[in-house]
Amino acid sequence: MTDNTGIKSSDLEVLNRAIEWLDDGFTVELVTVARTWGSSPRPPGSLAAVRSDGHLVGSVSGGCIEKQLAVRIDDTDRAQAFAHEITDEEARRFGLPCGGHLELIFEQLSDSTDLKTILAAIDKRQRIARTVDLTQGNQVTYQEVDRHIDFHYDGSSIRKVFGPGWRILLIGGGQLSRYVAQFAQALDYDVIICEPREEYASGFDVPGCKLVSSLPDEAVLQYATDHHSVVLALTHDSNLDDAALIEALPSSAYYVGALGSKANNERRRKRLSAIGVENVDRLHGPVGLNIGSRSAAEIAISIVAELIELRNAADQINRTTSGV
DSSP string, 200-227: HHTT---TT-EEE-S-HHHHHHHH--ST
Residue at which a domain ends, from 141, 162, 183:
162
pLDDT, position 314: 64
Residues shown for the chain: 324
Rounded Cα–Cα distance for residues 288 and 297 (Å): 12
- Residue 196 backbone dihedrals phi, psi, to 5 degrees: -80, -10
* Residue-number span of the structural domain to which 24 is assigned: 10-162
Rounded Cα–Cα distance for residues 97 and 102 (Å): 12
β-bridge mates for residue 36, sequence order: 102
Residue at which a domain ends, from 162, 197, 223:
162
143 and 256 share one domain: no
79 and 21 share one domain: yes
Tell me which H or E stretch contains 194: strand 190-194
With a cut of 70, list the residues of the chain below it in pLDDT.
1-9, 38-42, 61-101, 137-138, 147, 314-324
DSSP state of 166: P
75 and 113 share one domain: yes
pLDDT, position 8: 40
The closest of 33, 32, 161 to 108, measured between CA atoms, is 32
Whether cis (ω within 30° of 0) applies to the bond prior to 286 is yes
Rounded Cα–Cα distance for residues 54 and 61 (Å): 17
Residue at which a domain ends, from 162, 182, 214:
162
DSSP state of 279: T
Q: Is residue 324 part of a domain?
A: no
pLDDT, position 200: 94
177 and 216 share one domain: yes
81 and 202 share one domain: no
153 and 270 share one domain: no
153 and 259 share one domain: no
Q: How many structural domains compose the chain?
A: 2
Write the DSSP assignment of 62-84 as a string of letters: TTSSHHHHHHHTT--SS-SEEEE
pLDDT, position 263: 94
Per-residue pLDDT of 232-270, as tens digits, reads 999 989 999 999 999 999 999 989 999 999 999 999 999
pLDDT, position 76: 46
Rounded Cα–Cα distance for residues 22 and 260 (Å): 50
302 and 241 share one domain: yes
pLDDT, position 227: 85
Q: Is residue 25 part of a domain?
A: yes
pLDDT, position 225: 84
Per-residue pLDDT of 37-66, as tens digits, reads 765 566 888 899 989 888 888 877 655 555
132 and 178 share one domain: no
Number of Cβ within a 10 Å radius of residue 301: 18
Q: Is residue 139 part of a domain?
A: yes
34 and 147 share one domain: yes
Q: Position 316: which residue type?
A: Q
pLDDT, position 324: 47
DSSP state of 154: -
